[in-house]
Structure 1
Amino acid sequence: MKNKAIIFDLDGTLIDSLKDIAISANLVLEEFNLPLHDISEYKNFVGGGASVLVNNCVPKNSNEDLKQKVLNRFKEVYDQEHHLNTQPYDGIYEVLEQLTKQNIKIGILSNKPHYFTCKYVEEFFSDYNFLEIHGQKENVPKKPNPMVALEIANSFNIKPENIFFVGDSDVDIKTAINSKMIPVGVKWGFRGPRELIENGAKYIVDTPKDILKLFEK
């Protein structure tokens, strides 16, 4: 097992954050007198980072100035509201505990802004040895660009083909493929298995504990 590692997506993979994202976004849309969206719609809005979320939320004919104002305000509101409903998925802690005990190198690569990514890891996962934690940063390509994933592999000193990349969206599967890593989709996330399979997931895990079985293959 020690010659393998695992990189996790965050939202929809380790944590169920959809409700807080939706609440925060709708509060901002209401401030700007823009149409609101049902929480279920946000499943298809997330995955590409905050700017993509905002672009999906606002009307199609919105100008760039409005989008930037909404984005800035969303970050402010989300910072205030982000923790109220968000929790790790059932079974995630047990998996992380086992991976830590077995000295398997673990990391996080998210398109959530880096500040929020680190804040969530500190809040929920400070007891686990995540060696690499990366959210979206300015002037750094987002997933599915493979650059940061490959930097993590280099830091782990493990070949990309021996690293499982685990996520809940097409963006994660494409990141894995672009990085020459093993693409793993989670059934419990925001998008569902069909999208993951269509985009090339090699494995679909039904529950968090099934992640551990990957290391037996």
Structure 2
Amino acid sequence: MRGLRLLRAPAALLGCLGVLLLLGGTPAYAHTALKDATPAPGSTVGTGTSVVELTFAQLRPGTTPKVSLVGPDGAKVPVGQPAMAGGSVTCAAVSPLRAGVNTLTYTVTATDGDTQTNAFQFQVADSAQAVTSPTACKGLSLSAPVTATSADTDADDTILGLGRTTALVVLTAVAVVVVGGVLVAVRTMRGTRPTGRRRAI
């Protein structure tokens, strides 16, 4: 029973740490939400779509989100330099899209300075209607799409696909959980270790 009592406290501690790990990553994605997008997540658009538009909440003033696209074959789709319309709408010109599932990735900076990277997918079909330039983007002079060779250099701003700050918090929490698991194993082994042979009478 003593060994069982020793196990209960660390197990409860690990449970709390696990909850903190899950909750710790949530705020980073909650305070800069994607409010609207064209093409929208899960939507189907035509191959002639040439502009993407993303509307965010609570972006850091003076910052411009980064946008990249990957086509159905895994190749990068050329994307022009993103431009801001107002303080929350991001517009970028893209090369004509190929049919299949495309993945759009965006990196934003929240008002507290935290950098976040997220992605969503949409379908492109030859038979679907191409998306016209969103109203918010029509007054902008968008740069022509270029091959996103600089996307690899942006990896320094992220860790495991997450913003640097968020990733460091998650990795620290994981390390704490691992150390806690080692302590539980050590205490369990000590609790079950034989106390020695009894002396014969």
With normalisation by structure 2, the TM-score equals 0.26
Structure having the higher Rg: 2
Q: Which structure is higher in strand share?
A: 2
